[in-house]
Every structure is written in structure tokens, then in C-alpha cells.
Amino acid sequence: MDQLHKRFSDDQIRVMLHGYCQGLLPRAEIQDMLGVSKSRFFVLLKQYRQDPAAFSVAYSRVTPAKLSAAVEAEIERALLEEKQMVEDPDLPISGYNYSALRDRLAKKGIHVSVTTIIQRAKRLGCYRPRKKRKVHDREVLTASIGALIQHDASTHLWAPLAGQKWALITSIDDFSRKLLFADFFPKETTWAHIQATQALMQSYGFPLRYYVDSLRVFRFVQGRDSFWRKHVLETDDVDTQWRKLMRVLAVDVTYALSPQAKGKVERPYRWLQDRIARTCLLEKISAMEEARSVLKYELDRYNNHQVHSTTKQIPSIRFDKARAAGNSLFRPFSLPKPYTSLKDVFCLRETRQVNGYRRISLFNHVIEVPNAPLYEQVDVHLIPNMTKQLMHIRVWWNDTMVHSVTFPLSEFSVHF
């Protein structure tokens, strides 16, 4: 059926509506004559009553102007850059990302749809059909924020021009899907994970549980006995440094047995790897500090602007609503007794016995402990300072710090 303004003039429709207002024509009859629905009829009636003299159903279609030659050239240039990256076997980029390309064009004031970009991409030979992936429904298994924090790391060539891989450590809240922490580290180490945990807890408090994989940083895993070897220590018989921290803070830990079990935190890595690597390459970024600005932008987009495919809400809004409603299992941040310094909580822990000369041996260093009894066990807290390249050592006995000393970090060959 033709459009209303093509079948009737404004005067004809005005007469019908006037008849309805005077009680001369029934609504059903006018709807039948006009060929419109009930809701459409009342929209026309409201418009007529507001100003009968100016009533009109005619309109002028605004046809979007064609893209200018300059815009077309910019799209083509961006697509060819994309093609060059995708076809380079030395780069960690294997497919086209037209959404990321659209966002980059928007930063330059060029606003086009992904469909328009794909049309140009097909014409220029910059298109690869997406592979069909197995559908995997990632349910929200928790009912409160802080109930489960999925924590993981990804070592990747985040800035191809840097020539070296960095570790991106992230923590995501299961309920809201908000990324509570994300930062680059030169390497994935125990100390890096402790620093990431400290940053999250100081910002949000202590969660109920962490969900991690069985990486040696998080869990001691021993193989089965064999004919040649009899294991004395079995899996989880020894606490790792990170697990010791969790026990001090009374935070539970659950271990995933496969990468598929960590899909909620693995999925953000895919789009972060894709977008950050592209941006760093196109903007000639090779320094970690500059790459952090790219990461910060992507985190803001994900947390504050993008509707999550599972929750159908923006992560930050979902998180803030839950917190405002008291639907949170985060405990307020406070230092556990007897500690009064963050250094004694977020640290590496060792145990040593004081010898007859009131000394302990620690990684080829002999340390005087004048205030501890002979032959007693003491707790040693190690706090690496990567910026100043120092190792702070604090010795505790009977819930009291009895000695502290600082060494150059270079004198410790231990992998922290």
C-alpha cells in the first residue's frame, strides 16, 4: 500500500479528523478509509488537535548525501592499512576488525557505519568471511558483585613495534562483567599478580572468592606417582606465595581446570589483543606507558559505554546499581591484625630459623636478627621495589616486627 501522504491530501484527512471530533464519523470508519492502525490514527488525531490549520502528513525525505571524495579516500587508506597488517605474517593480527576501524575513523570526525565500511572492503579486496564459531552461552552464575572475581593474565605482543611481549593482568567481576583491574607488566610473575591483587582490593575491598587457573603462580600441582619416582608432596600440599596472601586476607580461591572454564575472562582478551595491537601499530607506539593509554581507552569503552552481550547492561552501570542496592559481597578494605603496613600484607613470605649467632640465611645473604630468640622460627617478608631496584626485608617474630633491612635487588637472583 502506498504511503498515506500519497493517497490523501492534507485537506481530505483534515475533514475526516474534523468529522471525528464533531462526532459525525466513527473512528473505525476513518481507520478503514485511511488504511491505518488504531495507534497511527491517534497519532494523527493528536497532531491535528495541536494545530488544525497547520496539520499536514506531507514530509520531505532527507536523503543522506553521498560520502565526499576525501572521506572515501580516508576509508580506502584505512582499509589498505588494515589489509597490510592482516597479511603480514610477523604481526599478531589475523583478521579484519571493521568495528575498530569505524571507531578510529570517528576519532577523525568521520562517522560511517560498519556496513558502509564492509561494502568498501569487499570492493577493495579487504574482506575475509568470519568463521562460524560454536555458540557458547556464558551465564552469570553469581547473584552479587564481589562473589567471584575471575583473574588471569595474557602474555602477548601487545605493541608489535616494541619487539617484546608483555603480560596483561586482568580481574573481572562475574556478576557485573566489569573489568575491575587491567594493566601491563613486563613479565607475568608472582609479584606482578600480588600487585594486581593489591590494586583491586584497595579500590573495591575484599571479594568473597577468586577464580584462577592452575598456573604455578596460583597453585602447587604435582604429577602422579610413577615407577621411577615417589612424590612426597601432592597437589595443594604447599601454598604458593599468592595463595599465602589469599589465606592472610581470608579470601577463598577456586581453580579452573581448563581454559574453556575461564571463558568470561578469556573473551575480553581476544578483543583487547585485537584492538590494542592494531592501535599501537597504527599509532607507532612501542613504549609500555604509551600502550597503557590505549588500554585505558579500551577499558573505558568496555566498562562505561558498551552493552554486554550476556547481561544486556553496561558493566559499570550494573556494578554501581548492585553496590547502591547493597547487593555486594565485598568486605571493606582493612589490614588484618597484627599488621599495620601494606608492606607486611602484600609481600612475599618465607620462614627461617634463627641460628646460635642470632642470624638467618636468606638467598645467600646472612641477616642479623638481634631481637629474636635463638632457634626460633621467624617470618620473613620480602617487598621488591622494581622502580628503585631495592629489596626490603622485614622480619617478624611472635606477631612483632623485630628487624628490617634493605638490599639491592640485583643481589637476588630469585624469580619473583
In a domain, 140, yes or no: no
Mean pLDDT of 292-312: 91
Are 22 and 163 contained in the same domain? no
**pLDDT of res. 228:** 46
In a domain, 274, yes or no: yes
- Look at the chain and report how many structural domains it folds into: 4
In a domain, 251, yes or no: no
**pLDDT of res. 107:** 87
Mean pLDDT of 102-120: 90
In a domain, 191, yes or no: yes
C-alpha cell at 281: 601499530
In a domain, 255, yes or no: no
Are 292 and 353 contained in the same domain? no
Question: Measuring CA to CA, which residue among 166, 243, 266 is closest to residue 197?
Answer: 243
Are 17 and 120 contained in the same domain? no
Tell me the sheet residues that pair with 145: 328
In a domain, 241, yes or no: no
Are 111 and 182 contained in the same domain? no
**pLDDT of res. 9:** 87
Q: Which of 88, 109, 124 is the last residue of a domain?
A: 124
Are 49 and 81 contained in the same domain? no
Are 302 and 199 contained in the same domain? yes
Are 44 and 163 contained in the same domain? no
Q: Higher-confidence residue: 386 or 314? A: 314
- Cβ–Cβ < 8 Å for 47, 55: yes
In a domain, 218, yes or no: no
Are 299 and 172 contained in the same domain? yes
DSSP-derived pairing of the beta strands 209-212 and 149-156: parallel
Are 184 and 277 contained in the same domain? yes
Instruction: Name the DSSP letter for residue 134.
Output: -
In a domain, 313, yes or no: yes
User: Residue 381: is it exposed, middle or buried by C-beta count within 10 angstroms (0-12/13-18/19+)?
Assistant: buried
Are 383 and 281 contained in the same domain? no
Q: Which of 109, 124, 139 is the last residue of a domain?
A: 124
**pLDDT of res. 322:** 96
Ordered alpha helix ranges (H), 88-206? 98-107, 114-124, 190-204
Residue 374, Ramachandran bin (φ over 0: left; ψ between -120 and 50: alpha; else beta): beta
Are 79 and 16 contained in the same domain? no
pLDDT at residue 336 is higher than 50:
yes
pLDDT band at 2; cut points 50, 70, 90: low
Are 177 and 312 contained in the same domain? yes
Q: pLDDT tens for residues 223-264?
A: 544 444 455 445 555 788 999 999 999 999 998 866 555 555
Long-range contacts of 287-290 (CB under 8 A, 24+ apart): 287/159, 287/162, 288/159, 288/162, 288/166, 288/184, 288/186, 290/159
Question: Measuring CA to CA, which residue among 150, 177, 144 is closest to residue 317?
Answer: 177
Q: Which of 298, 324, 350 is the last residue of a domain?
A: 324
Q: Higher-confidence residue: 70 or 224? A: 70
Contacts of 157 (CB under 8 A, 6+ apart): 91, 92, 164, 165, 277
Indicate the pTM of the whole model: 0.73
Which residue range(s) make up the domain with 94? 69-124
